[in-house]
């Protein structure tokens, strides 16, 4: 007895008809259900190819998870669980600099841009390092100047104190001399 072949439209994700690589079987032309139940799609029909970086896709493409988009009801005013979602207006697509290029070309361009940015970053980092070293040197000089100023202030204060004591002694000597002169004159 020969084993019975599995039906082509079994609905299994790993079915031979869905992948087209069964053991000795031929791909079935019968429609197979999609993975998320969005309706039947023919197994031999390839999905429309979309561009990698922003090329417009065909308007007749299937919705998310293979479901075909349905027209939204006119503004019924019902909001909540079970209400049909309204379709948002399609945003205009901007032209992309990457469209109609090969992946190798795109990667080369991105690699060149990245290299330029790395070089710029390296130059800026070296400049910031130079500035940082200059700041540290200037800080050290400022700290040394502050220490010198503190020593000079202490020296100035001690000199002022000695000058005051000299002036005081000079005044005492002047008064003593004045007394002696007055005694000599009398």
User: How many C-beta atoms surround the C-beta of residue 90 within 10 A?
Assistant: 7
- pLDDT score of 133: 98
Reported as a single tens digit per residue, the pLDDT across 63-120 is: 555 555 555 555 545 555 555 556 666 666 655 666 677 888 889 999 999 999 999 9
Residue 142 pLDDT: 97
pLDDT tens, 67-81? 555 555 555 455 555
pLDDT at 94: 55
């Amino acid at each position: 007895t020969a084993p019975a072949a599995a039906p082509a439209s079994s609905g299994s994700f790993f079915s031979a008809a869905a992948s087209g690589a069964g053991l000795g079987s031929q791909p079935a032309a019968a429609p197979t259900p999609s993975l998320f139940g969005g309706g039947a799609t023919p197994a031999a029909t390839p999905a429309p190819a979309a561009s990698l970086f922003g090329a417009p896709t065909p308007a007749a493409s299937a919705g998310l998870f293979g479901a075909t988009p349905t027209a939204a009801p006119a503004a019924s005013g019902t909001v909540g669980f079970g209400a049909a979602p309204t379709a948002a207006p399609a945003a205009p697509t901007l032209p992309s600099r990457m469209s109609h290029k090969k992946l190798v070309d795109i990667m080369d361009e991105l690699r060149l841009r990245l290299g330029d940015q790395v070089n710029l970053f390296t130059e800026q980092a070296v400049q910031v390092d130079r500035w940082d070293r200059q700041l540290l040197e200037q800080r050290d000089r400022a700290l040394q100047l502050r220490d010198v100023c503190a020593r000079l202030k202490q020296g100035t204060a001690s000199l002022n104190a000695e000058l005051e004591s000299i002036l005081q002694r000079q005044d005492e000597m002047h008064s003593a001399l004045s007394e002696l002169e007055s005694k000599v004159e009398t």
